[in-house]
Amino acid sequence: MSKVLLVDDSAVMRKIIQRNIKETGLIVDEFVEAGDGKQALERISDSGDLDLILLDWNMPNMSGIEFVRTLRSLNMPKRIPVVMVTTEGSDSKVSEAKESGADGYLTKPFTADQLRDTLGSYLLVG
Ligand SMILES: [Mg+2]
């Protein structure tokens, strides 16, 4: 049973990412969605066990980088992997995200191969 939290302020982007994940054959049983970092924190307390968080950078209310810093400051029973999925692709942004507690990084737009390679470390392939 694999559960993925998709955090992006674009509902269209959340749908695209879900469809792409299914098309690449990565196994996800349930997607949970959030439109900003604040909602994502709520989903984490509601949704129980999450296997992976896919996180946009630029969002209203609470950005991706603020979210990952907050998440890593919480005392949680399990460390949930976080992969940034964002148009912010500069080296300094990638370093900032990793120093803040992100585990992986995928720059939009991404290819099916890039998606499978990046998420394959966290999800099974069918
Ligand atoms: Mg955004």
Ligand 1 center–CA 66 separation, angstroms: 13
In whole angstroms, what is the distance from residue 29 CA to residue 56 CA? 21
pLDDT score recorded for residue 46: 87
Number of domains in the chain: 1
Residue range 9-55, pLDDT digits in tens: 999 999 999 999 999 999 999 999 999 999 999 999 888 789 999 99
Q: How far apart are the first and last CA of the chain?
A: 13
CA 58 – ligand 1 centroid, Å: 4
Residue 126 counted as domain residue: no
- Say if 24 falls within a structural domain: yes
Within-domain flag for 109: yes
- pTM listed for this prediction: 0.96
Q: What's the CA-to-centroid distance between 52 and ligand 1, angstroms?
A: 18
pLDDT tens-place string over residues 66-82: 999 999 999 888 999 99
Q: 96 C-alpha vs ligand 1 centroid, how far in Å? A: 17
Q: Residue 31: which CATH number?
A: 3.40.50.2300
Distance 46 CA to ligand 1 centre (A): 23
